[in-house]
Every structure is written in structure tokens, then in C-alpha cells.
Amino acid sequence: MSFDTRIQMNGLPISVYAPETVGCVVVDSSGGCAATTSSGGLMNKKCCRIGDSPLIGAGTYACDLCAVSCTGEGEAIIRATLARDVAAIMEYKGLALQKAINYAIKERLDGGKAGAITVSKDGEVAYGFNSNGMFRGCATEDGFMEVGIWE
Ligand code: ASP
């Protein structure tokens, strides 16, 4: 697969991000939430680096409120415990999912570039990112489908 290296995101060719990250969040009809994230990491990563994706609470998290899968600069995501923070903000601040992800992205990343896909136990779907774009899609059981890259 080849990507146009002239297209950039966060000052890097979009190919740095495009081919390797797959996150998924789901909710079932009884409100059960699950999340998973797969990543090849970032280009030029250090040997043996472990990113945020396999770290529960950092890049991936699900509980009885929501499911969250993150992408972007793993070190910033880990420092922020970004995925868990979305759930904590919902629980402790009483915010709805979209407001919780907006808050986490704005307040917790400390300059890092990242984003997340999320779904709540009630089926609310929300995205948040502070990068120029984030590849994403959504499908529901009644046939609704959408994809997006930009804001
Ligand atoms: N978050 C990943 C990492 O830092 C990169 C990605 O797949 O978005 O390893």
C-alpha cells in the first residue's frame, strides 16, 4: 500500500499514521461496552518501545459507562491516561461523552497530539482529537454509516 507523502498531519507525512492504527469501540443492546486498539507504533520509534495501545487505561479502556480507543502520540496518551480519563470525567464531573472527550483532549494531553473514538453505554458516539485530522468511521445496527478524517 502506498500513501501520498505530500499530505501531512502534525507536520509529518500522513503515512506515519495511516496504515497501522486500528481502534474499535462497541456497545451491545444491553449497554455492555468494549474497546480494542492495535498499532504498529510511531515511525522511528525506539526499539522495544511499548506504546499506549496495549496499556489498559492509556490507549484502550472500557467500563460500564463507555469504551475508548486512542490514537496519536503514545507517550502523551500514557501520561494523560487518556482513555481512562474520559470515563473518569464522565463519572466524576457528570459530563456526557462528547463533553468528556473534549475536556480530556483539551486539558490532559499537555501539548501532545492525539485523538480517540468513544461510545457510551447509551449508544452515544463521540470523537475527539487535537491533530489536524483523524481517520474514523461509525456504523449502527439500523444501517447508519459514516466516515471522516477532518473536524
Ligand atoms: N498511539 C500509537 C503509539 O504511540 C500510535 C498510533 O497507532 O496512533 O504507539
20 versus 19: the higher-pLDDT residue is 20
Q: Does the pLDDT at position 148 exceed 60?
A: yes
CATH superfamily, region 23-39+50-148: (Glycosyl)asparaginase (3.60.20.30)
Average pLDDT of the segment spanning 112-119: 96
- Which one of the listed residues 5, 21, 37, 140 is annotated catalytic? 21
| Residue 64 is labelled as binding a ligand | no
Phi and psi angles of residue 53, each rounded to the nearest 5 degrees, phi first: -55, -45
38 versus 12: the higher-pLDDT residue is 38
Q: Does the pLDDT at position 2 exceed 50?
A: no
Which atom of ligand 1 lies nearest, measured to the CA of 41? Answer: 9
**Is 37 an active-site residue?**
no
Among 35-49, 72-86, 115-129, where is mean pLDDT lowest? 35-49
Q: pLDDT tens, 22-43? A: 999 999 999 999 999 999 888 7
Measure 47 CA to ligand 1 centroid, in angstroms: 14
Phi and psi angles of residue 117, each rounded to the nearest 5 degrees, phi first: -105, 140
Question: What residue spans define the domains of the chain?
Answer: 23-39+50-148
Beta strands in 1-131 (DSSP E): 8-9, 12-13, 22-27, 33-38, 60-62, 66-72, 114-120, 125-129
